[in-house]
Chains A and B, each alone.
Chain A
Amino acid sequence: METVMLVVVAVAAVLVAVAALLALVRIERGPSMLDRALGLDLLAAALVGVIAIEAAWLRRTETIPILVALSLVGFVGSVAISRFAAREPAAPDARDDADVGDGEERPVAVLRVEDAGEDDGTEESPETPEERP
Protein backbone atom coordinates (compact mmCIF):
# COMPACT_ATOMS: atom_id res chain seq x y z
CA MET A 1 0.00 0.00 0.00
CA GLU A 2 2.74 2.44 0.92
CA THR A 3 4.54 1.90 -2.39
CA VAL A 4 1.33 2.60 -4.29
CA MET A 5 0.91 5.75 -2.20
CA LEU A 6 4.48 6.75 -2.97
CA VAL A 7 3.83 6.50 -6.70
CA VAL A 8 0.57 8.45 -6.38
CA VAL A 9 2.24 11.19 -4.35
CA ALA A 10 5.17 11.41 -6.76
CA VAL A 11 2.89 11.67 -9.82
CA ALA A 12 0.71 14.29 -8.13
CA ALA A 13 3.70 16.33 -7.00
CA VAL A 14 5.19 16.31 -10.51
CA LEU A 15 1.89 17.43 -12.05
CA VAL A 16 1.50 20.30 -9.58
CA ALA A 17 5.13 21.29 -9.98
CA VAL A 18 4.65 21.48 -13.76
CA ALA A 19 1.58 23.64 -13.17
CA ALA A 20 3.70 25.98 -11.03
CA LEU A 21 6.31 26.12 -13.80
CA LEU A 22 3.65 26.97 -16.40
CA ALA A 23 2.34 29.70 -14.10
CA LEU A 24 5.86 31.10 -13.89
CA VAL A 25 6.11 31.17 -17.69
CA ARG A 26 2.79 33.02 -17.85
CA ILE A 27 4.03 35.52 -15.24
CA GLU A 28 7.17 36.06 -17.29
CA ARG A 29 5.31 36.51 -20.59
CA GLY A 30 2.60 38.80 -19.33
CA PRO A 31 1.62 40.64 -21.54
CA SER A 32 -0.33 42.73 -19.03
CA MET A 33 -0.24 43.08 -15.28
CA LEU A 34 -3.58 41.27 -15.16
CA ASP A 35 -2.08 38.17 -16.79
CA ARG A 36 0.69 38.26 -14.22
CA ALA A 37 -1.83 38.54 -11.40
CA LEU A 38 -3.56 35.47 -12.84
CA GLY A 39 -0.25 33.62 -12.95
CA LEU A 40 0.54 34.55 -9.36
CA ASP A 41 -2.89 33.27 -8.32
CA LEU A 42 -2.14 29.95 -9.97
CA LEU A 43 1.33 29.85 -8.42
CA ALA A 44 -0.13 30.36 -4.94
CA ALA A 45 -2.63 27.56 -5.61
CA ALA A 46 0.16 25.25 -6.79
CA LEU A 47 2.12 26.07 -3.64
CA VAL A 48 -0.88 25.20 -1.48
CA GLY A 49 -1.29 22.00 -3.51
CA VAL A 50 2.32 20.89 -3.06
CA ILE A 51 2.23 21.54 0.68
CA ALA A 52 -1.02 19.56 0.87
CA ILE A 53 0.51 16.65 -1.05
CA GLU A 54 3.57 16.59 1.20
CA ALA A 55 1.38 16.70 4.32
CA ALA A 56 -0.76 13.89 2.90
CA TRP A 57 2.31 11.72 2.30
CA LEU A 58 3.75 12.21 5.79
CA ARG A 59 0.33 12.42 7.50
CA ARG A 60 1.38 15.59 9.27
CA THR A 61 -0.85 18.43 10.43
CA GLU A 62 1.65 21.11 11.43
CA THR A 63 1.79 22.65 7.96
CA ILE A 64 -1.97 23.09 7.56
CA PRO A 65 -2.05 26.66 9.04
CA ILE A 66 0.30 27.63 6.20
CA LEU A 67 -2.41 26.55 3.75
CA VAL A 68 -4.96 28.79 5.45
CA ALA A 69 -2.69 31.81 5.16
CA LEU A 70 -1.57 31.09 1.59
CA SER A 71 -5.11 30.58 0.33
CA LEU A 72 -5.89 34.20 1.24
CA VAL A 73 -2.63 35.77 0.06
CA GLY A 74 -3.33 35.03 -3.61
CA PHE A 75 -6.71 36.72 -3.39
CA VAL A 76 -5.37 39.88 -1.76
CA GLY A 77 -2.70 40.13 -4.47
CA SER A 78 -5.24 39.79 -7.28
CA VAL A 79 -7.54 42.40 -5.80
CA ALA A 80 -4.69 44.86 -5.27
CA ILE A 81 -3.44 44.46 -8.85
CA SER A 82 -6.91 44.74 -10.37
CA ARG A 83 -7.54 47.92 -8.41
CA PHE A 84 -4.17 49.16 -9.54
CA ALA A 85 -4.62 48.34 -13.21
CA ALA A 86 -8.23 49.52 -13.37
CA ARG A 87 -8.99 53.00 -14.59
CA GLU A 88 -12.16 54.99 -14.50
CA PRO A 89 -14.41 53.66 -17.30
CA ALA A 90 -15.55 57.18 -18.17
CA ALA A 91 -12.00 58.48 -18.79
CA PRO A 92 -12.02 59.90 -22.36
CA ASP A 93 -8.79 58.32 -23.56
CA ALA A 94 -8.68 55.27 -21.33
CA ARG A 95 -8.46 53.00 -24.39
CA ASP A 96 -5.46 54.72 -26.04
CA ASP A 97 -3.86 54.95 -22.68
CA ALA A 98 -4.24 51.26 -22.06
CA ASP A 99 -2.56 50.38 -25.34
CA VAL A 100 0.56 52.07 -24.13
CA GLY A 101 0.48 50.46 -20.73
CA ASP A 102 -0.18 47.11 -22.35
CA GLY A 103 3.49 46.32 -22.75
CA GLU A 104 2.98 44.63 -26.13
CA GLU A 105 5.76 46.59 -27.85
CA ARG A 106 8.41 46.67 -25.24
CA PRO A 107 10.48 43.67 -24.19
CA VAL A 108 8.69 41.87 -21.40
CA ALA A 109 11.53 39.79 -20.05
CA VAL A 110 11.17 40.30 -16.34
CA LEU A 111 8.42 41.22 -13.95
CA ARG A 112 9.57 44.67 -12.98
CA VAL A 113 8.17 46.84 -10.26
CA GLU A 114 8.40 49.84 -12.61
CA ASP A 115 5.75 48.22 -14.80
CA ALA A 116 3.13 49.20 -12.31
CA GLY A 117 4.64 52.61 -11.75
CA GLU A 118 4.63 53.25 -15.48
CA ASP A 119 0.95 52.39 -15.68
CA ASP A 120 0.32 54.87 -12.97
CA GLY A 121 2.35 57.52 -14.72
CA THR A 122 0.45 57.21 -17.99
CA GLU A 123 -2.78 57.54 -16.11
CA GLU A 124 -1.79 60.90 -14.78
CA SER A 125 -0.42 62.29 -18.04
CA PRO A 126 -2.22 60.65 -20.96
CA GLU A 127 -0.87 63.17 -23.47
CA THR A 128 2.71 61.91 -23.07
CA PRO A 129 2.35 58.33 -24.17
CA GLU A 130 5.95 57.11 -24.08
CA GLU A 131 8.15 58.41 -21.35
CA ARG A 132 11.16 56.18 -21.26
CA PRO A 133 14.16 57.10 -19.15
Chain B
Amino acid sequence: MTEIEPGFWTALADVVAALCLLAGAFLTFAAGVGALRFGSLLARMHSVTKPQVLGLVLLLIGLALRVRSWSAVAMLALVVVFQLATAPVAAHLLSRAGFRTGKVDESELVPNQMDPSDEPDGPHGGA
Protein backbone atom coordinates (compact mmCIF):
# COMPACT_ATOMS: atom_id res chain seq x y z
CA MET B 1 0.00 0.00 0.00
CA THR B 2 1.10 3.58 -0.58
CA GLU B 3 2.33 5.35 2.49
CA ILE B 4 1.19 8.92 1.84
CA GLU B 5 -0.15 9.75 5.25
CA PRO B 6 0.46 6.62 7.26
CA GLY B 7 -1.17 7.68 10.49
CA PHE B 8 -4.52 8.72 9.07
CA TRP B 9 -4.99 6.02 6.46
CA THR B 10 -3.96 3.09 8.62
CA ALA B 11 -6.18 4.34 11.43
CA LEU B 12 -9.11 4.69 9.03
CA ALA B 13 -8.54 1.18 7.66
CA ASP B 14 -8.44 -0.18 11.19
CA VAL B 15 -11.69 1.55 12.13
CA VAL B 16 -13.47 0.25 9.03
CA ALA B 17 -11.99 -3.21 9.69
CA ALA B 18 -13.33 -3.13 13.25
CA LEU B 19 -16.81 -2.20 12.02
CA CYS B 20 -16.71 -5.00 9.41
CA LEU B 21 -15.59 -7.52 12.01
CA LEU B 22 -18.40 -6.54 14.39
CA ALA B 23 -21.11 -6.59 11.71
CA GLY B 24 -19.85 -9.87 10.28
CA ALA B 25 -19.71 -11.52 13.69
CA PHE B 26 -23.24 -10.31 14.47
CA LEU B 27 -24.58 -11.74 11.20
CA THR B 28 -22.85 -15.07 11.80
CA PHE B 29 -24.33 -15.13 15.30
CA ALA B 30 -27.79 -14.36 13.90
CA ALA B 31 -27.37 -17.17 11.37
CA GLY B 32 -26.67 -19.52 14.28
CA VAL B 33 -29.73 -18.28 16.18
CA GLY B 34 -31.87 -18.72 13.08
CA ALA B 35 -30.53 -22.20 12.40
CA LEU B 36 -31.53 -23.20 15.92
CA ARG B 37 -34.75 -21.25 16.31
CA PHE B 38 -36.57 -21.54 13.00
CA GLY B 39 -39.14 -24.30 13.00
CA SER B 40 -38.78 -25.79 9.54
CA LEU B 41 -35.96 -27.03 7.37
CA LEU B 42 -36.57 -24.41 4.70
CA ALA B 43 -36.64 -21.51 7.15
CA ARG B 44 -33.36 -22.70 8.65
CA MET B 45 -31.94 -22.86 5.17
CA HIS B 46 -32.64 -19.14 4.76
CA SER B 47 -30.55 -18.30 7.76
CA VAL B 48 -27.54 -20.31 6.59
CA THR B 49 -27.57 -18.67 3.18
CA LYS B 50 -28.10 -14.95 3.57
CA PRO B 51 -26.73 -13.77 6.95
CA GLN B 52 -24.04 -16.43 6.97
CA VAL B 53 -22.65 -15.51 3.55
CA LEU B 54 -22.66 -11.76 4.15
CA GLY B 55 -21.29 -12.29 7.68
CA LEU B 56 -18.36 -14.25 6.34
CA VAL B 57 -17.76 -11.73 3.56
CA LEU B 58 -17.68 -8.88 6.10
CA LEU B 59 -15.27 -10.78 8.36
CA LEU B 60 -12.97 -11.39 5.39
CA ILE B 61 -13.15 -7.71 4.35
CA GLY B 62 -12.18 -6.80 7.91
CA LEU B 63 -9.25 -9.21 7.73
CA ALA B 64 -8.15 -7.81 4.35
CA LEU B 65 -8.21 -4.26 5.75
CA ARG B 66 -6.06 -5.35 8.68
CA VAL B 67 -3.36 -7.29 6.84
CA ARG B 68 -3.20 -5.00 3.75
CA SER B 69 -1.14 -7.26 1.51
CA TRP B 70 -2.08 -8.01 -2.09
CA SER B 71 -1.44 -11.73 -1.99
CA ALA B 72 -3.68 -12.06 1.07
CA VAL B 73 -6.40 -9.96 -0.57
CA ALA B 74 -6.23 -12.17 -3.68
CA MET B 75 -6.80 -15.32 -1.67
CA LEU B 76 -9.58 -13.72 0.37
CA ALA B 77 -11.31 -12.60 -2.82
CA LEU B 78 -11.21 -16.21 -3.94
CA VAL B 79 -12.85 -17.32 -0.67
CA VAL B 80 -15.61 -14.73 -1.17
CA VAL B 81 -16.24 -15.91 -4.73
CA PHE B 82 -16.37 -19.53 -3.58
CA GLN B 83 -18.86 -18.63 -0.85
CA LEU B 84 -21.13 -16.65 -3.17
CA ALA B 85 -21.08 -19.43 -5.75
CA THR B 86 -21.47 -22.45 -3.47
CA ALA B 87 -23.82 -21.34 -0.67
CA PRO B 88 -26.94 -20.96 -2.89
CA VAL B 89 -26.22 -24.24 -4.65
CA ALA B 90 -25.81 -26.13 -1.38
CA ALA B 91 -28.99 -24.57 0.04
CA HIS B 92 -30.92 -25.43 -3.12
CA LEU B 93 -29.69 -29.04 -3.15
CA LEU B 94 -30.51 -29.56 0.53
CA SER B 95 -33.97 -27.99 0.36
CA ARG B 96 -34.84 -29.83 -2.83
CA ALA B 97 -33.76 -33.12 -1.25
CA GLY B 98 -35.90 -32.21 1.78
CA PHE B 99 -38.93 -31.52 -0.38
CA ARG B 100 -38.55 -34.65 -2.45
CA THR B 101 -38.16 -36.94 0.55
CA GLY B 102 -41.08 -35.42 2.44
CA LYS B 103 -39.01 -33.86 5.22
CA VAL B 104 -40.78 -30.54 4.68
CA ASP B 105 -44.10 -30.06 6.45
CA GLU B 106 -46.12 -28.73 3.55
CA SER B 107 -49.14 -27.88 5.71
CA GLU B 108 -47.18 -24.95 7.15
CA LEU B 109 -46.73 -23.35 3.76
CA VAL B 110 -49.47 -20.86 2.92
CA PRO B 111 -49.78 -20.55 -0.05
CA ASN B 112 -48.07 -23.64 -1.36
CA GLN B 113 -47.86 -23.50 -5.12
CA MET B 114 -45.42 -26.35 -5.39
CA ASP B 115 -46.12 -28.45 -8.45
CA PRO B 116 -47.23 -31.81 -7.02
CA SER B 117 -46.68 -33.70 -10.26
CA ASP B 118 -43.26 -35.13 -10.89
CA GLU B 119 -43.82 -35.27 -14.63
CA PRO B 120 -41.97 -32.46 -16.36
CA ASP B 121 -45.01 -31.56 -18.49
CA GLY B 122 -47.68 -32.24 -15.89
CA PRO B 123 -50.42 -29.77 -15.03
CA HIS B 124 -49.08 -26.84 -13.10
CA GLY B 125 -50.64 -25.72 -9.87
CA GLY B 126 -50.48 -21.98 -10.41
CA ALA B 127 -52.93 -19.85 -8.47
> Which A residues form the contact surface with B (CB < 8 A)?
1, 4-5, 8-9, 11-13, 15-16, 18-23, 25-26, 32, 34-35, 37-39, 41-42, 45-46, 48-49, 52-53, 55-57, 59-61, 64-65, 67-68, 71-72, 74-75, 78-79, 81-83, 85-87, 89-90, 94-95, 97-99, 101-102
Chain B residue contacts of A102, Cβ below 8 A:
102-103
User: Known interface pairs A38-B48, A98-B103. Does A82 touch B96 (Cβ–Cβ under 8 Å)?
Assistant: yes
Contact A16 B29 (CB under 8 A): yes
User: Cβ of B11 and Cβ of A1 under 8 Å apart?
Assistant: yes
- Chain B interfacial residues counted at CB < 8 A: 53
Q: How far is the CB of B124 from chain A (nearest CB, A)?
A: 16
Q: A72-B82, A78-B90 are in contact. Are A49 and B118 (CB under 8 A)?
A: no
If over half of A's interface residues share one DSSP class (helix, strand or loop), that class is named, otherwise mixed; here it is helix
Question: Which residue of the partner chain, among A22, A41, A61, contacts B72 with CB atoms under 8 Å?
Answer: A61
Option from A23, A56, A60, A101 in Cβ contact (under 8 Å) with B101: A101
Q: Given the complex of chains A and B, what is the CA–CA distance between A72 and B79 in angstroms?
A: 8
A41 vs B94: C-alpha distance when bound (angstroms) = 11
Nearest chain B CB to A26's CB is how many angstroms away?
5
Shortest beta-carbon distance from B20 to chain A in Å: 9
Give the A-B pair count, Cβ closer than 8 A.
Answer: 183
Bitwise interface map of B from 53 to 72 toward A, beta carbon under 8 Å scored 1, else 0:
00110011011001101011
Give complex CA distance A86, B11 in Å: 51
Selected A-B contacts with CB under 8 Å, 24 pairs: A1-B11, A5-B14, A9-B21, A12-B22, A12-B59, A16-B59, A19-B31, A26-B44, A41-B87, A52-B62, A53-B21, A56-B17, A56-B59, A56-B62, A61-B69, A61-B71, A67-B79, A68-B78, A75-B82, A83-B93, A85-B98, A85-B101, A86-B97, A102-B102
Q: Contact: A12 with B25, CB < 8 Å?
A: yes
In the bound complex, residues from chain A placing their C-beta under 8 Å from that of B112 are: none
Residues of the B chain whose Cβ atoms lie less than 8 Å from the Cβ of A49 = 24-25, 28, 55-56, 59
Q: Is B90 within 8 A of A89, CB to CB?
A: no
Q: Is the CB of B83 within 8 A of A56?
A: no
* Cβ-defined partner of A52 (8 Å) among B36, B45, B63, B69: B63
A99 to B18: give the CA distance in the assembly, Å: 47
